[in-house]
Amino acid sequence: MEVRVQNIRKEFGRFPALDDVSLDIRSGELIALLGPSGSGKTTLLRLIAGLESPTDGTIFFGAEDASKKTVQQRNIGFVFQHYALFRHMTVLDNVSFGLKVRPSSRRPPAADIRRRALDLLELVQLSGLEKRYPAQLSGGQRQRVALARAMAVEPNVLLLDEPFGALDAQVRKELRKWLREIHDRTGHTTVFVTHDQEEALELADRVVVMSKGAIEQVGTPDDIYDHPVSPFVYGFIGQSNCIDVTLSSGEIWFEDRPIGLRAASEPDGVATLYFRPHDIELIDGCGGCLAGLVTASRRVAGTRHLEIDLGKAHPPVEIELPPERASSTDHTRVAFRPTKWTLFRKEGDVAAVSRQAEAPVSELARTGT
Amino acid sequence: MALDTSTAPTASSKLVKAATSETRVARLTLIAVALGFVALFLLLPLATVFIEAFRKGPAEFATALRDPETFSAIRLTLIVAAISVPLNLVFGVAASWAIAKFEFKGKAFLTTLIDLPFSVSPVISGLVFVLLFGANSALGPFLQKHGIHILFAVPGLVLATVFVTFPFVARELIPLMQEQGTSDEEAALSLGATGWQTFWHVTLPNIKWGLLYGVLLCNARAMGEFGAVSVVSGHIRGQTNTMPLQVEILYNEYNFVAAFAVAAVLALLALVTLVLKTALEIRYSDEIAASRRH
């Protein structure tokens, strides 16, 4: 089912956890809410579920206004971070709980409930464990019971709060793949919360990047990675470097020299240049480039990461190169130029006003390729 | 039971001692001190009660208990406990639920208030009700006019007992419920369960062991309470004397066998409670362990 979040605001006491958030979730999609802790992603999930009520704003399930409905009436499936399995019930009783508590007019016969619960346990590959208690299961198995329990009520939307947060890395990877398969097979509209970008980018159809109670960007994993719309997204997703630069008649200057990048339509002033460590080319002989001494070099799997000191006033930048290109550059001077980059400007900086550390950020200024 | 960990490896244990194992002497001394203390301060007095009760033989013991005043005291104690324990059970669950699962103003105040009966002397607790319902109080004339007897009657005894045993269930449940959090309840609600279904099928099973301990403690104290009850009872023989009060009266009359006979019954009730608790713990040990561990 399609879920539309409109201008939602949520305050805890006087602290706004979410500020004017709007989001359209398409029917049948698997969407991730990604952000650091305190970004409001779990609050948004709980608001959709009806476990919290918004201070302001509306949530639609299809064409229906769900804001006025209780959590029971919304018919959602919620998987909690620590699963919240009923510890005194067997796996089978846990999975059938949602059907057993229905009023008799809507409750399927006991035999049907049992069959449906067993079918779900088969779907989550836990056949044969229906008589176990939660304490007798591994973390990954508990997680799957929680998912089966949530799916048993045929929810309008499946909501998962940090579904893999409490699992070790190996199990996490397996379950991630498996969740994608389950989603493709059952087609439930699914929203999950995560702080793990790898998880979000790998698993979701679309990713919602959140920060400080607001949505920074919504897009496919490719969009989010290749075209970040804000410095926050650039910095939060993947690796990135940022350096302070100056614009002068369409040229980008670093300190006292142009670096060979042009932003023709941009007015003069200061700006911040963002680029990813692997989006660079090495240049022989510097006619417009960034240059500095290699201060550290690390081999990470198939690439070599070089840390480069651009000068005392700047934080070091990191670039990634194929190992064969980098072997000769240790402790030497390298010259390079970003091949894909983005300029962000702070409001008021256009006329070369003095820089402010935490000033609000204006629209994406210009993206170069 | 404490010893069996040390006996396993023989040859290697001489070389490298496990960090947590004490020498044999230290261990035996600790165990001896603990057992000695328990024997001296718990078992000896308890044994004395039974020895004194049977000093003049089982026949005297039985005669003492057949006394109508004593019989009425036993009955009254059971009635008071039967009323006040369920009252505090309901209150304890409600208060713990409110404190553990909701955020509201005055929560810290309520938590402190629950502890009040623990910190106030029972005699004062009793006195409060005398001041509240006594003939000279504001309510006194009204009660008298309508023939409502609170002081020197069962209602007064129940009130004083409820007040004194107020914290037992709540104190037991609050930390337990706080630790368990609200996600189990949220899970049940999200699956469509109503508030009552959530309480019966999820909350209650989660807290049942804590609740049982709380009720047992509450019951033990309700039957054994002396101070508060003494103030409101009026010591009317055969009418408002509970067992602890009856013990005191008999003792003051140098009727030692009868006094210890009643005391023995009271101790027996406490022992039954303890045995019951232990039996349940053994019977459901797996389940208790599972509910704690998870």
Tens of pLDDT, residue by residue over A330-339, are: 568 888 888 8
Which of A178-192, A259-273, B5-19, B53-67 shows the lowest mean pLDDT across its residues? Answer: B5-19
* A82 at interface of B, judged by CB pairs closer than 8 A: yes
Residue A284: both structure tokens together? 């022989």
- What per-residue confidence (pLDDT) applies to B112? 87
To the question of domain A3-233 being in CATH 3.40.50.300, the answer is yes
- What per-residue confidence (pLDDT) applies to A348? 53
Instruction: List, in sequence order, every residue forming a beta bridge with A280; answer none if it has no partner.
Output: A338
C-alpha pair distances (Å), A114 with each of A94, A96, A224, B157: 11, 7, 43, 52
Q: Contact A251/A262 with Cβ under 8 angstroms?
A: yes
- Rounded to 5°, angle at Cα A22 from A20 and A24: 170
Domain formed by A240-368, architecture = Beta Barrel (2.40)
Chain B contact set for A141 (CB, 8 A) = none
Chain-centroid distance of CA A220 in Å reads: 10
Q: Is A207 helix (H, G, I), strand (E, B) or coil?
A: strand
Residue A31: both structure tokens together? 């969407």
| Beta carbons within 8 Å of B269's beta carbon, 6+ residues apart | B223
**Statement: residue B13 has pLDDT above 50:** no
- What per-residue confidence (pLDDT) applies to B293? 47
pLDDT, tens digit (0-9, with 9 covering 90-100), for A44-98: 999 999 999 999 999 999 888 988 889 999 999 999 988 899 988 999 999 999 9
* A105 at interface of B, judged by CB pairs closer than 8 A: no
Chain A residue with Cα closest to B192: A72
* A51 at interface of B, judged by CB pairs closer than 8 A: yes
**Statement: residue A23 has pLDDT above 80:** yes
Chain B residue with Cα closest to A139: B294
- What per-residue confidence (pLDDT) applies to B290? 62
Chain B residue with Cα closest to A107: B192
* A87 at interface of B, judged by CB pairs closer than 8 A: yes
Backbone angles phi, psi at A225, to 5 degrees: -80, -40
Rounded to a whole number of angstroms, the distance from the CA of A134 to the nearest CA of chain B is: 8
Chain A contact set for B191 (CB, 8 A) = 97-98, 101, 149-150, 152-153
Give A 347-366 residues with CB within 8 A of chain B: none
Arithmetic mean of pLDDT, B136-149: 81
**Statement: residue A354 has pLDDT above 50:** no
Rounded to a whole number of angstroms, the distance from the CA of A104 to the nearest CA of chain B is: 13
Residue B151: both structure tokens together? 């002081």
Tell me how far apart the alpha carbons of residues B261 and B249 are, in angstroms, rounded to a whole number.
Answer: 13
CA atoms within 13 A on the CB side of B168: 23
Residue A171: both structure tokens together? 């199990």
B192 with A133: Cβ contact below 8 A: no
The pLDDT mean for chain A works out to 85
CB nearest B190 (choices: A49, A86, A87): A49
Rounded to a whole number of angstroms, the distance from the CA of A13 to the nearest CA of chain B is: 11
Which of A101-110, A186-195, A312-321, B159-168 shows the lowest mean pLDDT across its residues? Answer: A312-321
Domain formed by B58-293, architecture = Orthogonal Bundle (1.10)
Sequence-distant contacts of A136-144: CB under 8 A, at least 24 apart = A136/B290, A137/A91, A138/A171, A139/A166, A139/A167, A139/A168, A139/A171, A140/A167, A140/A171, A140/A174, A140/A175, A142/A83, A142/A85, A143/A79, A143/A83, A143/A167, A143/A175, A144/A175
Strands A317-321 and A303-309: antiparallel
C-alpha pair distances (Å), A166 with each of A89, A174, A176: 21, 14, 13
> Which of B189, B191, B200 to mutate: most A Cβ within 10 Å?
B191
CA atoms within 13 A on the CB side of B20: 4
Type of residue found at B132:
L
**Number of Cβ within a 10 Å radius of residue B122:** 19
pLDDT category, B28, cuts 50, 70, 90? very high
Q: Looking at chain A, list the stretches that DSSP marks H as alpha helix, in order from N- to C-terminal side.
A: 41-49, 71-74, 91-100, 110-123, 139-152, 169-186, 197-203, 221-226, 231-236, 323-326
C-alpha pair distances (Å), A358 with each of A86, A216, A242: 46, 16, 14
The complex's ipTM works out to 0.80
pLDDT, tens digit (0-9, with 9 covering 90-100), for A140-163: 899 899 999 999 988 989 999 998
* A75 at interface of B, judged by CB pairs closer than 8 A: yes
**Statement: residue B1 has pLDDT above 70:** no
pLDDT category, B149, cuts 50, 70, 90? confident
Task: Considering only residues A262 and B246, tell me which one the structure prediction assigns the higher pLDDT.
Answer: B246
Strands A3-12 and A303-309: unpaired
Query: Chain B residues with CB-CB distance to A under 8 A?
Result: 183-184, 186-194, 197, 201-202, 205-206, 287, 290-291, 293-294
Q: Is A279 helix (H, G, I), strand (E, B) or coil?
A: coil
Segment (H or E) for A15: strand A15-25
pLDDT category, A31, cuts 50, 70, 90? very high
**Statement: residue A19 has pLDDT above 60:** yes
**Statement: residue A365 has pLDDT above 50:** no
Rounded to a whole number of angstroms, the distance from the CA of B152 to the nearest CA of chain A is: 46
- What per-residue confidence (pLDDT) applies to B8? 46
Residue A228: both structure tokens together? 């970040």
Q: Contact A365/A344 with Cβ under 8 angstroms?
A: yes
Q: Looking at chain B, list the stretches that DSSP marks H as alpha helix, in order from N- to C-terminal side.
A: 11-15, 24-38, 44-53, 57-66, 68-101, 107-119, 122-133, 140-145, 154-165, 167-180, 183-190, 195-198, 204-224, 227-233, 243-252, 256-283, 285-293
Map tokens 């109670």 to a residue. A213
**Statement: residue B277 has pLDDT above 90:** no
- What per-residue confidence (pLDDT) applies to A346? 75
User: Would you kindly state where each structural domain of chain A is located, as residue ranges?
Assistant: 3-233, 240-368
pLDDT category, A171, cuts 50, 70, 90? confident
**Statement: residue B31 has pLDDT above 90:** yes
Tell me how far apart the alpha carbons of residues A32 and A208 are, in angstroms, rounded to a whole number.
Answer: 6
Tell me how far apart the alpha carbons of residues B162 and B174 are, in angstroms, rounded to a whole number.
Answer: 18
Task: Considering only residues B67 and B138, tell me which one the structure prediction assigns the higher pLDDT.
Answer: B67
Strands A303-309 and A214-219: unpaired
CA end-to-end distance (rounded Å), chain A: 39
The pLDDT mean for chain B works out to 85
In chain B, the percentage of residues whose pLDDT exceeds 70 is 91
- What per-residue confidence (pLDDT) applies to B159? 92
Arithmetic mean of pLDDT, A259-287: 83
The per-residue b/e assignment along A112-122, b for 16 or more CB within 10 angstroms, e otherwise, is ebbebbbebbe
- What per-residue confidence (pLDDT) applies to B292? 56
- Please give the interface size between A and B, counted as residue pairs whose CB atoms are below 8 Å apart: 73
Rounded to a whole number of angstroms, the distance from the CA of A365 to the nearest CA of chain B is: 44
Q: Is A191 helix (H, G, I), strand (E, B) or coil?
A: strand
Tell me how far apart the alpha carbons of residues B95 and B97 are, in angstroms, rounded to a whole number.
Answer: 5
Q: Contact A306/A318 with Cβ under 8 angstroms?
A: yes
- For every residue of A229-260, DSSP letters joined together read -SHHHHHHSS--EEEEEEEETTEEEETTEEEE
C-alpha pair distances (Å), B202 with each of A89, A95, A112, A335, B110: 9, 14, 23, 65, 25
Arithmetic mean of pLDDT, B30-34: 94
**Sign of the four-CA dihedral A359, A363, A365, A366:** positive
Map tokens 């057949």 to a residue. B66
A97 with B191: Cβ contact below 8 A: yes
Q: Which is nearest to A30 in space by CA: A127, A166, A163, A228?
A: A163
pLDDT category, A190, cuts 50, 70, 90? very high
- What per-residue confidence (pLDDT) applies to A42? 92
Q: Which is nearest to A360 in space by CA: A248, A233, A230?
A: A230
In chain A, the percentage of residues whose pLDDT exceeds 90 is 36
Residue B14: both structure tokens together? 């001489």
> What is the signed CA dihedral for A19, A22, A27, A33, rounded to 10 degrees?
-40
Map tokens 């980059």 to a residue. A341
User: Would you kindly state where each structural domain of chain B is located, as residue ranges?
Assistant: 1-53, 58-293
Chain B contact set for A71 (CB, 8 A) = 186, 189-190
pLDDT category, A369, cuts 50, 70, 90? very low
Instruction: List, in sequence order, every residue forming a beta bridge with A33; answer none if it has no partner.
Output: A193, A208
